[in-house]
Structure 1
């Protein structure tokens, strides 16, 4: 096999609850992931070494050296297999870079699936998930897709059934936000406030809304503990969130560590109208309608 193509989705966090800072520098999380229909493609071609090229949206913002997470994923897979392998990885970007939608993690998951197939390793999903967890907190979910609760750093996943399809609009912002910087700002604001940070808990009402497919209830229970920190670093996002609400979004939230803003719509028609309104009024430079849940990384 000379070439393998994998499609991998973006995510939105419908709940992101952040516990106190741990001694290892991480936080315990309750993280409800939801995979949505904005996709990167990762193509793996036969090669003597592991390299990466990036095309598409935001391609100029993605490193192509050893810091690229897709390269690191391929290297980790080869190390796990105990042999030297090569692959020329071509990433076709559509997921925003440093946008809070797990674009880098998606590419890493895509590289794992693509190289597993290209190299004929035949490793089961369980093995890929273990490798993924060492690469980053969001990478295992990019493999799994659907809707899931992540605990620990977010890498310990439990799949959640949902009662239907949910429709979204995503408004990427110019420039990204560093996840590490947003967490650091969250910690700084908490220390400044002097309020004791409680242990994160799953929102039962949100779980019920996901399970029954109640889009109105889901919209009212969206939550993100990093949102205040993201808005503190990027105050302009507040106006985008307000505009989405004014144009009828059932819920408006910063996705993950931001700066992409996510809006929950009633249905597909409402999502298209909302995306059009956000761009027509200048509230967002661009807005993309999508739906979820969708599958994780799959061969195409």
Structure 2
């Protein structure tokens, strides 16, 4: 038998970043929104697992060894239940790789759910979320989906109400950006300044709850955007191209280099995507909607 799980990408509609902690992490107020771009993770029994294969755009950039979060997720679940991680994980990727949309974290959450179903471990939700938090700051949200406020280093989640459908365009850049490198650049840019403690925007949470795209656009923020632009200045041209084409707002998605554009409706989103593609400032542009469900067993 095999089990296939679909997992969503995310956009950070607010990413408030505090100063570096003694452990090297940063306290965050991270408002996650799951969007309808998906990876699929298929788990099949294999005597020499965990073994990984991958297909899709930029599959060649995906590590297929034990450093991959999906392999680590399978091993973590197996160890907790006294099993051998005898599984072949196949990643069908549609989320941009190293693009600031949590594709690796999504694969980890998908692998965890797929292995739980394949092995019949029946781990409670709380246990799965514990393992997710051990694997990385974005992994718990990839499991949960929808919308949530992440605090701590992003792993402590509070579900949020979303009152409607939001239309998004994502411009995929050439190459990726290293999340640790972007945080190091954030630290360099803020060195010697008083970095305020991260706090979620009540106006943004209200806009989400009301499904008000214009109000949400007015409150989108990403404290990592200056660092991402410092490392990849050309992203400023992509952001400007999307705004000029009619986006309500534009920002770097997470640590980048994918850029995100909020549109008032599907027709405007399609026009923005076409303009971005024609501008030559990105490799491709994708339209989709949010919120999207978290890790879901398909078969």
What TM-score, normalized by structure 2, do the two folds share? 0.98
- For residues 189-217 of structure 1, what are the alpha-carbon distances to aligned partners after superposition, in whole Å with 9 as ceiling and x for unaligned? 101xx321111111111111101111001
Residue matched to 2:278: 280
Task: Find the aligned partners of 2:250 and 2:85 in 1 and give their Cα distance.
Answer: 44
| Structure 2 Cα separation of the partners of residues 85 and 157 of structure 1 | 28
Instruction: Give the length in aligned residue pairs.
Output: 297
Q: Determine the C-alpha separation between the residues in 1 that align with 2:33 and 2:259.
A: 15
**Structure-1 separation of matches of 2:153 and 2:9:** 18
Equivalence map 1:78-117=2 (5 Å): 78-117=78-117
Name the residue aligned to 1:209.
207
**Where do residues 127-138 of structure 1 align in structure 2 (5 Å cutoff)?**
127-138=127-138
State the superposition RMSD in angstroms: 0.7
Counterpart Cα distance in 2 of 1:260 and 1:38: 13
User: In structure 1, how many angstroms separate the alpha carbons of the residues matched to 2:122 and 2:265?
Assistant: 39
User: Which residue of structure 2 aligns with residue 221 of structure 1?
Assistant: 219
1:87-122 deviation per Cα after TM superposition (whole angstroms, max 9, x unaligned):
100000100111000000000000000000000111
Post-superposition offset of 1:80: 1.1
Aligned residue runs from structure 1 range 23-34, under 5 A: 23-34=22-33
Partner of 2:158: 158
Question: TM-score scaled by structure 1?
Answer: 0.98
Kept in 2: contact 1:56–1:92 (CA 8 A): yes
The equivalent residue for 2:15 is 16
Q: Unaligned 5+ residue runs, structure 2?
A: none
Q: In the aligned structure 2, how far is the partner of 1:123 from the partner of 1:45? A: 18
Q: Is it true that 1:254 corresponds to 2:252 in the alignment?
A: yes
> 8 Å contact 1:85–1:119 — kept in the other structure?
no
Displacement, 1:282? 2.1
SS of 1:183 mapped into structure 2: helix
Distance, in Å, in 1 between the alignment partners of 2:281 and 2:231 is 18
What displacement does 1:127 show?
1.1
Q: Distance in 2 between matches of 1:71 and 1:109?
A: 11
Does the alignment pair 1:271 with 2:269? yes
Q: Which runs of 5+ in 1 are unaligned?
A: none
